[in-house]
Chains A and B, each alone.
Chain A
Amino acid sequence: MTEPHDPRGNLVRPYAVTRGRTEPIRDIPIEAVLVAGSAAVQEARFAGHDKYRIALLCEPKAQSLAELAALTRLPLGVARVLVADMVADGLLTLHSAAPRTGFSERMDLLGRVLGGLRKL
């Protein structure tokens, strides 16, 4: 499944983040999930407290941006900047939100969601 655009295209450089997270990044959808491998978690130890917490949360289980913001008690915008930064640095893998174009891609997804709901 392909993203409509590469969300890493508009990244602020890390200095923007350390200087008070001034650049809002709207590219990562709130429901898109992130995963951290254990090597990345080790690396994230040196990336700062908040980034390390985020990496730890994403190791056992894929977590959405919304979950990361809620669980770390960071405002959504701040969590989004940190997460985008971590994706750029290879600390997190960003997975895809539902496809927004393509009839068959969208129908496939809706069909899978419907099946999942019926099994609840």
Chain B
Amino acid sequence: MDFASSDRAATQPTEITSAKIVIAGGFGVGKTTLVGAVSEIEPLTTEAVMTSAGAGIDDASKVPGKATTTVAMDFGRITMADDLILYLFGTPGQTRFWFMWDELIRGAVGAAVLVDTRRLTDAFAPLDYFENRHLPYLVAVNCFDDAPRYEPEEVREALAIPAHVPLLMCDARHRDSVKAVLIGVVEHAMATLVAEHEKGHPAPVG
């Protein structure tokens, strides 16, 4: 044991706030790549045990006879200050694990839905999900090298993305590009919050 660290706790700020941004999208769309491009740690994976029906459980032995699945999600961390940490959570690839998505978005600042133009239809389920939740989100088109190039407005039309949802192009491998996506999410969250406040009925997030 390292007893020399006994006064470390005293140097911790009294209250540390942590926030999260959710990175959603289908399998292979670049979520882990995006998280890794800005995270200070190698993206970590956490696992939750689910019944096959999709309800989250904590102990598989509690539901004998029911098939269970392990659903994995990965995440990264950006320590912004002694008292502020931002986490980036990638959704599980399979959109059928709605339970896990609900847990992930609860209390989130906002979300980015990543889209791969080679498999546009994979984006429908995530987009539907966010359209029916009260969480500010934007769409980020991940520009794979061998993907057909579309104008942003073509993607918006093809996916029927509402006008109030920001859409931008990105490269999930590049830090500056990912930074721009995350800044876009937060700016959109601020604009949404201000608009709700002016209308006089702010709703809680998530």
User: Which residues of A line the B interface, CB within 8 A?
Assistant: 1, 20-22, 24, 26, 29-33, 35-39, 41-42, 59-60, 62, 64, 66-67, 69-71, 75-78, 80-81, 95-98, 100-101, 103, 106-107, 109-120
In this complex, what residue of B is CB-closest to A110?
A: B190
Q: Is B156 an interface residue when CB atoms closer than 8 A count as contact? A: no
Shortest distance between the CB of B26 and any CB in chain A (Å)? 22
Q: Tell me which residues from 170 to 206 in chain B have a Cβ below 8 Å from any Cβ of chain A.
A: 175, 179, 182-183, 186-187, 189-190, 193-194, 197, 202, 204-206
Number of chain B interface residues as a range: 35 or more
Q: Is the CB of B12 within 8 A of A110?
A: no
- Determine the distance from Cα of A100 to Cα of B206 in the docked complex, in whole angstroms: 8
Q: Is the CB of A75 within 8 A of B80?
A: no
In this complex, what residue of A is CB-closest to B100?
A: A76
Q: Is the CB of B58 within 8 A of A75?
A: yes
Q: Is the CB of B47 within 8 A of A69?
A: yes
Q: Is B18 an interface residue when CB atoms closer than 8 A count as contact? A: yes
In this complex, what residue of A is CB-closest to B4?
A: A38
Q: Is the CB of B109 within 8 A of A98?
A: yes
Chain A residues with CB under 8 Å of B18's CB are 31-33, 64, 95-98
- Determine the distance from Cα of A67 to Cα of B75 in the docked complex, in whole angstroms: 9
- Determine the distance from Cα of A120 to Cα of B77 in the docked complex, in whole angstroms: 12
- Determine the distance from Cα of A109 to Cα of B83 in the docked complex, in whole angstroms: 11
In this complex, what residue of B is CB-closest to A78?
A: B58
Q: Is the CB of B9 within 8 A of A35?
A: yes
Instruction: Please judge, given known A-B contacts A21-B58, A70-B46, A116-B80, whether A59 and B8 are in contact too, CB under 8 Å.
Output: yes
Which 10 A-B residue pairings sit nearest by Cβ, starting from the closest?
A77-B58, A116-B80, A37-B9, A70-B44, A95-B16, A98-B19, A24-B58, A31-B20, A76-B48, A70-B46
Known: A76-B47, A100-B204. 14 other contacts (CB 8 A): A22-B59, A42-B1, A59-B8, A60-B5, A64-B77, A95-B15, A96-B18, A97-B107, A98-B19, A98-B107, A110-B109, A110-B190, A117-B78, A117-B186
